[in-house]
Chain A
Amino acid sequence: MFLINCPFCGEREQSEFKAGGEAHIVRPKQPTELSDDEWAEYLFMRKNIKGVQFERWNHVHGCRKWFNMVRDTSNDQIKAVYKMGEKPPVE
Chain B
Amino acid sequence: MSNNLRFKTSKFIDETYRISFKFNNKTYFGFKGDTLASALLANGIHLVGRSFKYHRPRGIMTSGSEEPNAIIQLHDNSSRTEPNVRATEVEIYEGLVASSQNCWPSVNFDVGGINNLLSPILPAGFYYKTFMWPASFWEKYEYFIRKSAGLGKSPKVADPDIYEHKYIHCDVLVIGAGISGIIASKMAAKNGFKTLLVDEKSYLGGSSIYDNSEFSKINNQITSSWLEKEINEISKLENLEIKIRTSVAAFHGYNFLLARENLTDHLPINQRENKVRQRLLKIRAKKVITATGSIERPLIFDNNDRPGILLSSAIKKYIDLYGVACGENNILFTNNDTAYETAMSLIQRGIKINAIIDNREQIDSKISYEVEKNNIEIYKGYTVVDTYGYKRINKISIMKLSKDGQTVIGDKTKLNCDCLGVSGGWTPAVHLFTQSGGKLKFREEDQIFIPNVYPSDQISIGSCNGDFGLEEIIKNTLSSIKKFLDIDNSEYKTVETISGLNQSKRNIWLLPSDKSIGKTKSFVDYQNDATAKDIKLALREGFRSIEHVKRYTTTGMGTDQGKLGNMHALGIISETAGTKMGEHGTTTFRPPYTPLTFGTIVGRNVGEFFDIFRRTPIHDWHVANHAEFENVGQWKRAWYYPKDNENMHQAVQRESKAARDSAGILDASTLGKIDIQGTDASEFLNRVYTNAWSKLAVGKCRYGLMLNEDGMVYDDGVTTRLGENHYIMTTTTGGAANVLGKLEDYLQTEWPELDVYLSSVTDHYATISVCGPNSKKIVSKVIPDLDLSDEKFPHMSFKNAKIDNIKCRVMRISFTGEHSYEINIQANYGKSVWEKCMEAGKDFNITPYGTETMHLLRAEKGFIIVGQDTDATMTPIDLQMDWIVSKKKYDFIGKRSLYRSDTIREDRKQLVGLLTENPEEVLEEGAQIVADIKKSPIEMLGHVTSSYYSPNLKKSIALGVVKGGKNMLGQKLIIPMENKNINVTVADPVFLDKEGERLNAKL
Contacts and interface: CB of A to CB of B under 8 A. Distances in A.
Interface in B598-623: none
A60 interface: yes
A75 B748 CA distance: 29
B750 interface: yes
Contact of A40 (B252, B741, B900): B900
A76 B254 contact: yes
A27 interface: yes
Contacts of B710: 43
Contacts of B901: 36
Interface in B861-887: none
Interface string B898-929: 00110000000000000000000000000000
Interface in A49-91: 56, 58, 60, 64-66, 75-76, 84-85
Counting chain B CB atoms within 10 Å of each CB, the highest count among A58, A66, A75 belongs to A66
B36 to A, nearest CB: 35
Contacts of B750: 26-27
Range for the number of chain A residues in contact with chain B: 20 to 34
Given A31-B895, A34-B896, A84-B752, A1 B254 contact: yes
Closest 5 CB pairs of A and B: A31-B896, A66-B748, A2-B254, A27-B750, A1-B256
B455 interface: yes
B109 interface: no
B452 to A, nearest CB: 16
A13 B900 CA distance: 41
B80 to A, nearest CB: 31
8 contacts: A1-B252, A1-B254, A3-B256, A3-B284, A20-B745, A27-B709, A65-B748, A76-B253
Nearest to A64: B744
Given A20-B745, A75-B437, A84-B749, A32 B709 contact: no
Nearest to A27: B750
Interface string B725-768: 00000000000000001001100111010000000000000000
B256 A43 contact: no
A43 B709 contact: yes
B891 interface: yes
B890 interface: yes
Interface of B: 252-254, 256, 284, 437, 455, 709-710, 741, 744-745, 748-750, 752, 890-891, 895-897, 900-901
Nearest to A68: B749
Contact of B896 (A2, A32, A58, A60): A32
B253 A39 contact: no
A64 B759 CA distance: 12
A75 B253 CA distance: 9
Contacts of B891: 30-32
A64 B742 CA distance: 11
A83 to B, nearest CB: 10
Given A3-B254, A76-B253, A66 B749 contact: yes
A84 B284 CA distance: 28
Contacts of B752: 84-85
Contact of A43 (B455, B744, B748, B897): B897
Nearest to A18: B741
Interface of A: 1-3, 18, 20, 26-27, 30-32, 34, 36, 39-40, 43, 56, 58, 60, 64-66, 75-76, 84-85
Contacts of B252: 1
B924 to A, nearest CB: 35
Nearest to A23: B749
Contacts of B455: 75
Contacts of A56: 749
A42 to B, nearest CB: 8
Contacts of B900: 36, 39-40
Given A58-B741, A66-B749, A84-B748, A2 B253 contact: yes
B897 A39 contact: yes
Nearest to B167: A13
Contacts of A64: 744
Nearest to B708: A43
A75 B438 CA distance: 11
A76 B256 CA distance: 13
A40 B896 CA distance: 10
Contacts of A1: 252-254, 256
Contacts of A3: 254, 256, 284
A58 B749 CA distance: 11
Contacts of B897: 39, 43
Contacts of A60: 741
A61 to B, nearest CB: 11
B895 A58 contact: no
Counting chain A CB atoms within 10 Å of each CB, the highest count among B455, B710, B741, B749 belongs to B749
Contacts of B896: 31-32, 34, 39
A4 B437 CA distance: 19
Given A1-B256, A58-B745, 9 more contacts: A1-B254, A2-B253, A18-B741, A36-B900, A58-B741, A65-B748, A66-B745, A75-B253, A76-B253
A85 B254 CA distance: 28
A85 B747 CA distance: 12
Contacts of A18: 741
A32 B889 CA distance: 11
A36 B253 CA distance: 42
Contacts of A66: 744-745, 748-749
B712 to A, nearest CB: 11
A76 B456 CA distance: 11
A39 B284 CA distance: 44
B522 to A, nearest CB: 40
A31 B897 CA distance: 9
Contacts of A39: 896-897, 900
Contacts of A32: 890-891, 895-896
B131 to A, nearest CB: 39
Nearest to B741: A60
A18 B115 CA distance: 53
Nearest to B902: A36
Nearest to A31: B896
Nearest to B253: A76
A18 B254 CA distance: 18
Nearest to B750: A27
A1 B710 CA distance: 32
B339 to A, nearest CB: 42
Nearest to B258: A1
A2 B710 CA distance: 32
B281 to A, nearest CB: 14
A60 B666 CA distance: 32
Nearest to B893: A27
B663 to A, nearest CB: 41
A75 B897 CA distance: 37
A66 B750 CA distance: 11
Contacts of B741: 18, 58, 60
A84 B254 CA distance: 25
A27 to B, nearest CB: 5
Nearest to B900: A36
A13 B458 CA distance: 20
Contacts of A75: 253, 437, 455
A58 B897 CA distance: 26
Contacts of B254: 1-3, 76
Contacts of A2: 253-254, 256
Contacts of B895: 31-32
A10 to B, nearest CB: 14
A32 B899 CA distance: 10
B737 to A, nearest CB: 9
Contacts of A76: 253-254
A66 B437 CA distance: 29
A75 B455 CA distance: 8
Nearest to A42: B709
Contacts of A31: 891, 895-896
